[in-house]
Amino acid sequence: MSINKALTIAGSDSGGGAGIQADLKTFQELGVYGMSVITAVTAQNTLGVQGVFPMSAQAVEQQLASIGADLRPDALKTGMLFSSEIIQIVAAAIRSYNWERIVVDPVMIAKGGASLLQQEAIDAMLHHLLPLADVVTPNIPEAEALSGIVITDSASRQQAAKRIHEYGCQHVMIKGGHEADTVYATDLLYDGKTFTEFSSRRLHTPHTHGTGCTFAAAIASGLAQGLSANEALRLAKNFIHAAIAEPLYIGSGHGPTNHWAYQRGVRAGAASSDVIIVNNDAYAGGTR
Ligand SMILES: Nc1ncnc2c1ncn2[C@@H]1O[C@H](COP(=O)(O)OP(=O)(O)O)[C@@H](O)[C@H]1O
Ligand SMILES: Cc1ncc(COP(=O)(O)O)c(N)n1
């Protein structure tokens, strides 16, 4: 039996809902073997981030070298990278080992407001990591920081996606968790030609800690198993929707999502998809 392997390069969340912990849980649930390179340790729970302790450059380099020498990932995702130095080390490893199927979740700020990326590292993200990415998954504030465009409506969101795409990534998915829409949570995909919307019902819950990490890890799981980017995004949207829909009610703040929920639904024969996909060709060809 051949086992597909996925690597997460991200920060540790002691509370278990986001970061490395969310990624490994997602990989396991989606049937891929999970590996990790830890870039920072955070002291964190559902109430917020109490401490951030970046790993040394040498520690990150050696973890990457250990993976590179023995365990070629079929796909990888990056999360919290913290500094320009760590971003450059990660980008150099991806290039030197010729790793493919790269998902970049440009984590910047935790939901409680703690900074997980130094401001000056945004430039390194744009110039070193985005050109290597198959899929980049900013939320709305991250898309604004990467593109320099303030997102107020669907036209400005499309402009931001186009601007980010210019840095050389194959697909830009601007996630809609932070949108004002009270009915749908809509993620906008741009592949350089066409805009596609992935919508699901918005779930009204405070338990959304780790949604972005889980979503990106699910994309990497799909890519590791040979799915196309579109198929992997659809899988990820269904996975995160199920994970938010059935919260675990853990902790007294913003609780984690439920990484078991998607497979439980599959085993119970739940309807195949909650996600509505709209491929709007009217947006194609650079008309907006
Ligand atoms: N309240 C919600 N209901 C349904 N889906 C959500 C909700 N919040 C976030 N999502 C989905 O979770 C994924 C992660 O989005 P988002 O929360 O914007 O990322 P981040 O954690 O990086 O801020 C996206 O697919 C988004 O549409
Ligand atoms: C170590 C770490 N990485 C990432 C996040 C972002 O979490 P979210 O996915 O909720 O935006 C986090 N809170 N902690």
Pairing relation of β-strands 135-136 and 171-174?
Answer: parallel
Q: Mean per-residue pLDDT for 201-205?
A: 95
State both tokens at 153: 């409506």
State both tokens at 124: 């390194």
Q: How confident is the model at residue 286 (pLDDT cuts 50, 70, 90)?
A: very low
CA separation for the pair 197, 7 (Å, rounded): 27
Report the nearest atom of ligand 2 relative to the CA of 254.
10
pLDDT of residue 271: 63
Q: Which residues pair with 186 in a beta bridge?
A: 199
Q: Mean per-residue pLDDT for 217-239?
A: 97
- Per the CB < 8 A criterion, the answer to whether 197 and 189 are in contact is yes
Identify the active-site residue in 26, 42, 196, 211: 211
CA separation for the pair 49, 44 (Å, rounded): 4
pLDDT tens for residues 81-139? 999 999 999 999 999 999 999 999 999 988 888 888 888 899 999 999 999 999 999 99
State both tokens at 198: 């992935």
Report the nearest atom of ligand 2 relative to the CA of 13.
1
Identify the active-site residue in 77, 111, 175, 237: 175
- Per the CB < 8 A criterion, the answer to whether 199 and 212 are in contact is no
Q: Of 14, 12, 23, 20, whose CA–CA distance to 54 is shortest?
A: 12
Domains of the chain with bracketed CATH: 5-285 (3.40.1190.20)
Mean predicted lDDT score pLDDT of the chain? 94
Report the nearest atom of ligand 2 relative to the CA of 208.
10
C-beta of 17 in contact with ligand 2 (< 6 A): no
Q: How confident is the model at residue 222 (pLDDT cuts 50, 70, 90)?
A: very high
CA separation for the pair 17, 188 (Å, rounded): 25
State both tokens at 137: 């998954």
Closest ligand, as measured to the CA of 51 = 2
Three-point CA angle 197, 130, 41, nearest 5°? 100
Identify the active-site residue in 111, 213, 214, 265: 213
CA trace torsion 19, 20, 24, 30 (10° rounding): 40
- Per the CB < 8 A criterion, the answer to whether 160 and 151 are in contact is yes
Closest ligand, as measured to the CA of 137 = 1
pLDDT of residue 186: 96
Q: Which residues pair with 11 in a beta bridge?
A: 40
Interface predicted TM-score (ipTM) of this complex, two decimals: 0.98
C-beta of 140 in contact with ligand 2 (< 6 A): no
User: Which residue owns the Cα nearest ligand 2 atom 13?
Assistant: 110
More confident residue, 56 or 276: 56
pLDDT of residue 233: 97
Share of the chain above pLDDT 90, in %: 85
HSE value, Cβ hemisphere, 13 Å, CA-based, for 285: 4
CA separation for the pair 262, 245 (Å, rounded): 10
pLDDT of residue 269: 84
Residue 210 annotated as catalytic: yes
